[in-house]
Amino acid sequence: MLRLAPWLIIALLVGPILAGLAMAALPAFGYLPALGGDAFSLDPWRALLAQPGLARSVAVSFTSGLATTAVSLSVVLLFLAAASGSRLDRWIRRMVSPLLSIPHAAAAFGLAFLIAPSGLLARLASPGLSGWERPPDLLIVNDPWGLSLMAGLVIKEIPFLLLMSLAALHQIDAERRVALARSLGYRPTIAWLKVVMPSLYPLIRLPVFAVIAYASSVVDVAMILGPTLPPTLAVSILTWFNDPDLSRRFMASAGALLQLGVTLAALASWWGLECLVRRLGHGWVAGGQRRRGERRLRVAGKTLILLAAVTALVGIAGLALNSLAGFWRFPDGLPQTFTLQHWQRALPALGGPVAATLMIASTATLLAVGLVLAALENEQRSGRQPAQGQLTSALTLLYLPLIVPQIAFLFGLVVVMEALGTRPTRWLVIFGHLMFVLPYVFLSMSEAYRRFDPRWSRVALTLGSTPNGAFWRVRLPMLLAPLLTAMAVGLAVSIGQYLPTLLLGAGRVSTVTTEAVALAAGGNRRLIGVWALAQASLPLLGFIIAVGLPRLLWSNRRGMRGTP
Residue 24 lies near another protein (rule: CB under 8 A): no
CB of 155 to another protein, least distance (A): 22
Cβ atoms of 412 and 241 closer than 8 Å: no
Residue 386 is given by DSSP the state P
Contact stretch for another protein (CB under 8 A) within 72-80, 165-173, 238-246, 484-492: 238-246
Binding residue for another protein, selected from 125, 135, 145, 551, defined by CB under 8 A: 135
Binding residue for another protein, selected from 5, 13, 32, 162, defined by CB under 8 A: 32
Residue 338 is given by DSSP the state B
Cβ atoms of 480 and 419 closer than 8 Å: no
- For another protein, the closer CB: 146 or 539: 146
Residue 415 lies near another protein (rule: CB under 8 A): yes
CB of 516 to another protein, least distance (A): 10
Residue 427 lies near another protein (rule: CB under 8 A): no
CB of 331 to another protein, least distance (A): 8
Binding residue for another protein, selected from 71, 164, 215, 223, defined by CB under 8 A: 223
Contacts of another protein in 247-286 (CB under 8 A): 249
Residue 425 lies near another protein (rule: CB under 8 A): no
b/e code 266-294 from CB counts within 10 Å (16+ = b): bbeebeeeeeeeeeeeeeeeeeeeeeeeb
Cβ atoms of 53 and 257 closer than 8 Å: no
- For another protein, the closer CB: 57 or 68: 57
Binding residue for another protein, selected from 6, 152, 424, 542, defined by CB under 8 A: 424
Query: Phi and psi dihedrals of 31, rounded to 5?
Result: -100, 105
Cβ atoms of 369 and 487 closer than 8 Å: yes
Q: Distance between CA atoms of 394 and 10, rounded to whole angstroms?
A: 8
State CA 535 to chain mean position distance: 15
CB of 209 to another protein, least distance (A): 29
Residue 130 lies near another protein (rule: CB under 8 A): no
CB of 328 to another protein, least distance (A): 8
CB of 158 to another protein, least distance (A): 27
Contact stretch for another protein (CB under 8 A) within 49-57, 72-80, 379-387, 459-467: 49-57
Residue 137 lies near another protein (rule: CB under 8 A): yes
CB of 538 to another protein, least distance (A): 18
Contacts of another protein in 292-311 (CB under 8 A): none
Query: Phi and psi dihedrals of 325, rounded to 5?
Result: -85, 140
Contacts of another protein in 154-213 (CB under 8 A): none
Contacts of another protein in 311-340 (CB under 8 A): 325-330, 337, 339
Residue 499 lies near another protein (rule: CB under 8 A): no
CB of 556 to another protein, least distance (A): 49
Task: Return the SS3 of 561.
Answer: coil
Q: Distance between CA atoms of 203 and 389, rounded to whole angstroms?
A: 5
b/e code 521-530 from CB counts within 10 Å (16+ = b): eeeebbbbbb
- For another protein, the closer CB: 15 or 287: 15
Residue 243 lies near another protein (rule: CB under 8 A): yes
Task: Return the SS3 of 31.
Answer: strand
- For another protein, the closer CB: 339 or 396: 339
CA torsion 407→411→412→416, rounded to 10°?
Answer: 140
CA end-to-end span of the chain, whole Å? Answer: 34
State CA 482 to chain mean position distance: 18
Q: Closest by alpha carbon to 536, among 516, 518, 522?
A: 516
The partner residues of 483 in beta bridges, in order of sequence, read none
- For another protein, the closer CB: 336 or 385: 336
Query: Phi and psi dihedrals of 42, rounded to 5?
Result: -100, 5
Cis previous bond, 127, omega within 30: yes
Output the CA–CA distances (angstroms, integers) from residue 228 to 137, 260, 533, in the order listed: 16, 21, 27
Contacts of another protein in 357-386 (CB under 8 A): none
Contacts of another protein in 81-120 (CB under 8 A): 116-118
Residue 351 lies near another protein (rule: CB under 8 A): no
Contact stretch for another protein (CB under 8 A) within 4-12, 27-35, 174-182, 454-462: 27-35
Cβ atoms of 96 and 160 closer than 8 Å: no
Contact stretch for another protein (CB under 8 A) within 4-12, 36-44, 299-307, 478-486: 36-44
Residue 34 lies near another protein (rule: CB under 8 A): yes
Length, in residues, of the chain: 564
Binding residue count for another protein, defined by CB under 8 A: 84
Cis previous bond, 230, omega within 30: yes
- For another protein, the closer CB: 388 or 510: 510
Binding residue for another protein, selected from 166, 502, 512, 546, defined by CB under 8 A: 502
CB of 411 to another protein, least distance (A): 8
Rg (CA), the chain: 24
- For another protein, the closer CB: 84 or 511: 511
Contacts of another protein in 511-550 (CB under 8 A): 514-515, 517-527
Q: Which helix (H) or strand (E) holds 37?
A: strand 37-38
Q: Distance between CA atoms of 7 and 5, rounded to whole angstroms?
A: 5
Residue 241 lies near another protein (rule: CB under 8 A): yes
Contact stretch for another protein (CB under 8 A) within 46-54, 313-321, 364-372, 426-434: 46-54
